[in-house]
């Protein structure tokens, strides 16, 4: 069982087992086995121009050890520290569930420039994990930093 959430809540804290960015993902339909199909998992993105548009990005999160319902937030933060995209979803642990897969979709994602972006995972507004997503442009494209945009 996970740690207790809050001083007297008695509520276990779910553990984030994995968080994977991918082009698309789907949960099994018709079969209650909870399996997930991930398409084109990536840790960097390539664009031929900026701002860069992507039809969809999906973040697949895998959680364990929770009970009840929680709120999760996925934030995509640009190299300049500004939030570029945000996705929110309910995380529900059915009774008896050991692990839960959660998919958060970002349709029509637009990225302002190349650089190192942060993907932040929050559980009930508390940060639980951050990882990087490198966005690469054509050769010679400079990374966007701070207030420098061009």
The 10s digit of each residue's pLDDT in 57-86 is 999 999 999 999 999 999 999 999 999 999
> Greater confidence, 116 or 96?
116
> Greater confidence, 139 or 109?
109
Cα distance between residue 39 and residue 103, in whole Å: 12
- Which residue is it, tokens 């559980």? 123
Confidence class for position 24, pLDDT limits 50, 70, 90: confident
Q: Give pLDDT tens digits for 6-17.
A: 444 567 889 999
**Once rounded to an integer, what is the mean pLDDT over residues 39-55?**
91
Answer left, alpha or beta for residue 112, where phi above 0 means left and psi between -120 and 50 means alpha.
Answer: alpha
* CB count in 10 Å sphere of residue 145: 14
Count each helix (H run) and each strand (E run) in the chain, helices first: 0, 11
**Predicted local confidence at residue 19, as pLDDT:** 97
Cα distance between residue 98 and residue 10, in whole Å: 18
Answer left, alpha or beta for residue 6, where phi above 0 means left and psi between -120 and 50 means alpha.
Answer: left
**Once rounded to an integer, what is the mean pLDDT over residues 95-116?**
92
**Predicted local confidence at residue 4, as pLDDT:** 43
Go through the domains of the chain in sequence order and give each one's CATH number. 8-25+43-136 (2.60.40.1930)
The pTM (predicted TM-score) of the whole model is 0.82
């Amino acid at each position: 069982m996970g740690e207790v959430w809050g001083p007297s809540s008695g509520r276990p804290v779910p553990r984030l087992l994995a968080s994977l960015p991918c082009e698309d993902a789907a949960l099994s339909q018709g079969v209650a086995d909870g399996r997930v199909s991930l398409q084109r998992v990536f840790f960097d993105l390539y664009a031929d121009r900026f701002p860069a548009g992507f039809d969809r990005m999906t973040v697949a999160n895998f959680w364990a050890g929770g009970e009840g319902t929680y709120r999760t937030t996925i934030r995509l933060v640009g190299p300049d520290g500004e939030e570029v995209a945000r996705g929110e979803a309910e995380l529900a642990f059915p009774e008896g569930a050991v692990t839960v897969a959660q998919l958060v979709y970002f349709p029509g994602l637009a990225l302002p420039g190349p650089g190192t972006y942060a993907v932040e995972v929050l559980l009930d507004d508390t940060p639980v994990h951050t990882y990087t997503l490198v966005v690469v442009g054509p050769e010679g494209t400079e990374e966007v930093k701070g207030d420098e945009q061009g």
